[in-house]
């Protein structure tokens, strides 16, 4: 067996000794020298080669290591090496209050932070038995932010997928549009990512002035921009040549592996939790669940493109509903649970608004006590466990939250679709060409922060 390694010369790297590789002759590949490897293989009379692809950023999906066994350019075995972005988020949440947990979990799948926050908050609200008490405006704002997040996430999936196969124009316009979504996030939450905005009981703050107008402008612009992706890719013979028939996985394979999201819907099954198990009032919105029957990378690309159109429809409906909810509450009425949602940035751009400080410090002793206890200790959650999944851009994302009756989670474990869907790497890649491995993985759209947590 001949193995290639992406380390430095043997013996020079104390953390990657050469003896850890296979028993055959070892070649160190540092780029632009595949001819040397080919000549060496010819001398050995050996066609079988093991390639370490990574751990690097093959497609901006995250730090993923692929171990590929090749016969010529055909992949005979593909395995994933994960764990490079492990951050101990689930364990850390056991040492923080229930509200502080939002700040941790929003960082898991960093391309869809609002979904991480939503599934965790929905689970906590079920344990608190306050699901029916969440204000309508908070629910509509959650839907609005999640669908904007779906658009931004799919834009990254399409942009990076295009970049991997050389379609750099797709990459540049994808990130151009994503910037517009992140601008909206910054306007509404104050941050471009890792928002901690969706919290148990509602959302952190009300919509800022002028936000709905900017959202409507964004929707109008996206309706002009989205057809550019279709014009560049849908019927492009080179694009289709790289994607059609690649990463094939049928319905039986998806069900056996527990795959969800666009990968599952590319087999023709319209499984979408927003329709099948509605949450946050999704049953009140008019939208379709796009499907394809191609079971390949091309079908998954087309599904993501179609889903962005459906998300725009939901965003429009949510914006209209918010226009009629001016001044409505965005947090539950119970002050022993509700995080002080009237917190706002002061006129100097820092700290809290003077009006709110005046209220809690000078007008109401009870408000001051609740504020102090909420921030320092947090509220108690009745003992029990709950699991409320949501339909993230990559599939079923769920938080299994367990309480022992205290002010901190006893356990919080997340079912991340990237982790589950990554199982399909070997099935999609083996038997195909090495050039098609990245296309197959890009069609899964894994985010390694969600895989490793």
- Cα dihedral sign, 343-349-354-357: positive
What is the number of structural domains in the chain?
A: 2
User: Could you identify the residue written with the tokens 């094939």?
Assistant: 248
Output the six-digit token pair for 65: 């290591």
Q: Are strands 198-199 and 64-71 parallel, antiparallel or unpaired?
A: unpaired
Segment (H or E) for 185: helix 168-189
Q: Examine the domain organization and report whether 193 and 317 are in the same domain.
A: yes
Would residue 112 count as lying in a domain?
A: yes
Could you tell me if 36 and 110 lie in one domain? no
**pLDDT computed for residue 37 by the predictor:** 59
Structure tokens belonging to residue 425: 């790497």
Strands 395-403 and 390-392 turn out to be antiparallel
DSSP codes joined into one string, 321-338: HHHT-TT--SB-S-TTTS
- Cα 140 versus chain centre, distance: 20
**How far apart, in whole angstroms, are the C-alpha atoms of residue 264 and residue 325?**
37
Scanning 45-135, the segments in alpha helix (DSSP H) are 89-93, 100-105, 113-128
Distance separating alpha carbons of residues 344 and 452, to the nearest angstrom: 34
Residues of the domain holding 21: 2-81
CA 180 to chain centre: 18
Q: Which residues of 14-36 are buried (b: 16+ CB within 10 A; e: fewer)?
A: eeeebeebeeeebbbeeeeeeee
Residue 317 within a domain: yes
342 located within any domain: no
Q: Domain check: are 103 and 133 in the same one?
A: yes
Indicate if 32 and 180 belong to the same structural domain: no
Q: Are residues 235 and 138 in the same domain?
A: yes
Residues 354-374 have pLDDT tens digits of 676 776 666 667 767 777 777
302, 295 Cβ separation under 8 angstroms? no
The answer to whether position 352 is within a domain reads: no
**Where does a domain end: 29, 54, 81?**
81
Whether residue 7 is found in the same domain as residue 97: no
pLDDT at 369: 76
Q: With contact defined as beta carbons under 8 Å apart, do 144 and 207 qualify?
A: no
The pairing of strands 64-71 and 411-415 is unpaired
pTM: 0.85
Phi, psi for residue 410 in degrees, rounded to 5: -70, -35
Give the N- to C-terminal CA distance of the chain in Å, as an integer: 35
Given 50, 81, 112, the domain boundary residue is 81
Q: CA 125 to CA 387: how far, in whole Å? A: 11
In this structure, is residue 193 part of a structural domain? Answer: yes
Q: Give a yes or no: residue 374 inside a domain.
A: no
Instruction: Tell me whether residue 327 is in a domain.
Output: yes
Judge if 64 and 121 occupy the same domain.
Answer: no
d(CA 29, CA 36): 9
Q: Which of 206, 204, 202 is nearest to 194 (CA)?
A: 204
With 0-12 / 13-18 / 19 or more C-beta atoms within 10 angstroms meaning exposed / middle / buried, residue 4 is buried
Could you tell me the sign of the dihedral formed by the alpha carbons of 306, 309, 315, 318, in that order?
A: negative
Gap between the Cα atoms of 100 and 35, Å rounded: 54
E strands, 23-82, are 26-28, 48-56, 64-71, 74-81
Task: Assess contact for 95 and 373: CB atoms under 8 A.
Answer: no
Same domain, 148 and 21: no
Q: At what angle do helices 297-323 and 136-164 cross, to 10 degrees?
A: 150
Cα 235 versus chain centre, distance: 28
Dist CA 175 CA 180 (whole Å): 9
CA distance 344 to 186: 14
DSSP 268: T
Closest residue by Cα to residue 280 from 97, 114, 105: 114
Instruction: Tell me which of 81, 106, 128 is where a domain ends.
Output: 81
Q: Are residues 319 and 423 in the same domain?
A: yes
Instruction: Tell whether 361 is covered by a domain.
Output: no
299 and 211 co-located in one domain: yes
pLDDT at 3: 43
Q: Is 3 helix (H, G, I), strand (E, B) or coil?
A: strand
CATH number at residue 162: 1.10.645.10
Distance between CA atoms of 249 and 421, rounded to whole angstroms?
A: 11
pLDDT digit string, tens, across residues 10-39: 445 555 454 444 556 665 555 545 566 566
> What is the structure's pLDDT at 388?
92
Give the integer Cα–Cα distance in Å for 281 and 277. Answer: 10
Long-range Cβ contact pairs of 16-19 (< 8 A, separation 24 or more): none
Whether residue 424 sits in one domain with residue 306: yes
**Helix 136-164 vs helix 437-444: crossing angle, to nearest 10:** 170
One domain, residues 23 and 95: no
Intervals of the chain under pLDDT 50: 1-11, 16, 18-21, 32, 58
């Amino acid at each position: 067996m001949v193995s290639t390694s992406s380390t430095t010369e043997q013996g020079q790297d104390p953390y990657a000794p050469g003896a850890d590789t296979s028993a055959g002759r070892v070649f160190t590949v540092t780029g632009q020298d595949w001819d040397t490897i080919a000549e060496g293989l010819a001398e050995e009379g050996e066609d079988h080669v093991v390639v370490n692809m990574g751990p690097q950023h093959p497609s901006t999906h995250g730090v993923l290591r692929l171990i590929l066994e090749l016969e010529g350019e055909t992949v005979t075995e593909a395995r994933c090496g994960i764990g490079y972005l492990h951050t101990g988020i689930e364990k850390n949440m056991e040492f923080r209050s229930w509200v502080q947990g939002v700040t941790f979990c929003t960082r898991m799948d960093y391309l869809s932070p609002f979904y991480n926050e939503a599934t965790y908050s929905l689970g906590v609200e079920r344990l608190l038995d306050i699901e029916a008490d969440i204000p309508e405006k908070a629910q509509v704002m959650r839907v609005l932010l999640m669908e904007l997040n779906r658009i931004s996430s799919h834009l990254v999936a399409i942009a990076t997928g295009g970049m991997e196969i050389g379609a750099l124009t797709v990459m540049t316009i994808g990130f151009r549009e994503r910037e517009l979504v992140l601008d909206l996030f910054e306007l509404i939450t104050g941050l471009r990512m890792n928002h901690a905005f969706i919290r148990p009981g509602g959302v952190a703050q009300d919509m800022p002035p002028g936000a709905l107008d900017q959202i409507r402008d964004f929707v109008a612009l996206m309706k002009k921009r989205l057809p550019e992706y279709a014009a560049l890719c849908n019927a492009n013979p080179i694009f289709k040549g790289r994607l059609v028939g690649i990463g094939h996985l049928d319905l039986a394979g998806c069900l056996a592996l527990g795959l969800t999201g666009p990968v599952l819907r590319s087999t023709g099954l319209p499984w979408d939790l927003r329709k099948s198990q509605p949450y946050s009032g999704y049953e009140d919105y008019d939208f379709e669940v796009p499907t394809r029957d191609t079971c390949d990378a091309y079908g998954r690309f087309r599904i993501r493109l179609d889903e962005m159109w459906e998300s725009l429809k939901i965003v429009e409906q949510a914006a209209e509903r918010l226009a009629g909810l001016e001044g409505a509450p965005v947090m539950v009425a119970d002050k022993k649970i509700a995080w002080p949602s009237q917190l706002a940035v002061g006129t100097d751009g820092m700290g809290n608004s003077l009006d709110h400080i005046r209220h809690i410090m000078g007008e109401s002793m009870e408000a001051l006590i609740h504020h102090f206890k909420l921030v320092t200790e947090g509220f108690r959650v009745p003992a029990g466990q709950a699991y409320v999944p949501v339909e993230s851009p990559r599939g079923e994302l769920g938080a299994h939250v367990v309480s022992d009756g205290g002010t901190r989670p006893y356990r919080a474990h997340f079912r991340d679709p990237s982790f589950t869907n990554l199982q399909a790497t070997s099935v999609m890649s083996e038997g195909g060409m090495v050039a098609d491995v990245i296309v197959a993985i890009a069609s899964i759209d894994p985010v390694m922060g969600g895989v490793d947590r």
